[in-house]
């Protein structure tokens, strides 16, 4: 959220730990607080990202996947609309004992499965081994062309602890002039 012109910008709240933030409500409020900064960083990345940015982000994604337990989170499955392939929808509807029409009526709008995903059982995916492709690659940090997908990345900062922490660390790692987070490794 942009601060009013001429006003002193609010003091930035630092993360509770220098390493990692996993509390979802804190991530949500920090993301709101960092919103303007996140968009500025996006613009900076567009011009200044190093040639090996995809590799750097891939390493950050792997680091935070190892540190964060998705089975204790499931926030993506609870909060995001998902687009599954037709064949995947068929399999899921079949698992629920429904026709595709019944499934669409009950769980979908405009071609997307509404959250929370009907396959979510507590914090676990009930079809984990056969989960759709989009679920396997979420939060998509390991796909090529990171700098062309930054709007989607910023959308996920407030949803996914892996994205939140990776994007924060990237600011420091690339020595972004406005990045102020003190990370210790
Ligand atoms: S299919 Fe499984 S992994 Fe994908 S959104 Fe649903 S619960 Fe989550
Ligand atoms: S929101 Fe991110 S950390 Fe949470 S379950 Fe999904 S991928 Fe894992």
| CA 68 to centroid of ligand 2, rounded, Å | 8
Question: Which pLDDT score, from 0 to 100, does residue 7 have?
Answer: 36
| pLDDT for 180 beyond 70 | no
The rounded mean pLDDT for the chain is 89
Give the whole-number percent of the chain exceeding pLDDT 70: 86
Cα–Cα distance for residue pair 73/122, rounded to 1 Å? 10
Decide: 158 in ligand 2 pocket, CB within 6 A.
Answer: no
- Name the band, by pLDDT with cuts 50, 70 and 90, for residue 75: very high
164 lines ligand 2 (CB under 6 A): no
pTM summary value: 0.87
Task: Tokens for 20, please give them.
Answer: 């990692």
Check pocket membership of 139 for ligand 2, CB cut-off 6 A: yes
Report strand pairing: 124-125 vs 120-121. antiparallel
Give the HSE-up count for residue 28: Cα atoms under 13 Å, Cβ half-sphere: 5
pLDDT digits (tens, 9 = 90+) for 152-178: 999 999 999 999 999 999 999 999 988
User: Ligand 2: which residue has its CA nearest to atom 8?
Assistant: 70
Report in angstroms the alpha-carbon separations of 179 from 112, 129, 157.
36, 39, 16
Q: Quick one: which of 173, 176, 162, 161 has its CA closest to 42?
A: 176
Task: Please give the Cα distance from 82 to 80 (Å, whole number).
Answer: 6
């Amino acid at each position: 959220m942009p601060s009013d012109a001429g006003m002193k910008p609010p003091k930035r709240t630092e993360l509770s730990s220098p390493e990692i933030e996993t509390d979802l409500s804190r991530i949500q409020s920090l993301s709101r607080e960092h919103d303007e900064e996140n968009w500025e960083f996006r613009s900076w990345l567009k011009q200044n990202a190093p040639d090996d940015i995809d590799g750097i982000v891939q390493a950050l994604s792997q680091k935070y996947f190892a540190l964060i337990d998705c089975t204790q989170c499931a926030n993506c499955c609870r909060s995001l609309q998902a687009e599954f392939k037709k064949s995947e929808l068929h399999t899921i509807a079949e698992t629920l004992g429904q026709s595709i029409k019944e499934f669409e009526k009950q769980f979908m709008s405009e071609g997307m499965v509404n959250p929370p995903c009907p396959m979510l059982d507590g914090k676990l995916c009930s079809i984990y081994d056969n989960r759709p492709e989009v679920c396997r690659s979420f939060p998509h940090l390991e796909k090529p062309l990171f700098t062309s997908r930054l709007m989607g990345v910023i959308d996920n900062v407030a949803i996914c602890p892996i994205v939140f922490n990776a994007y924060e660390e990237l600011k420091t790692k690339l020595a972004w002039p406005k990045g102020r987070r003190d990370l210790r490794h």
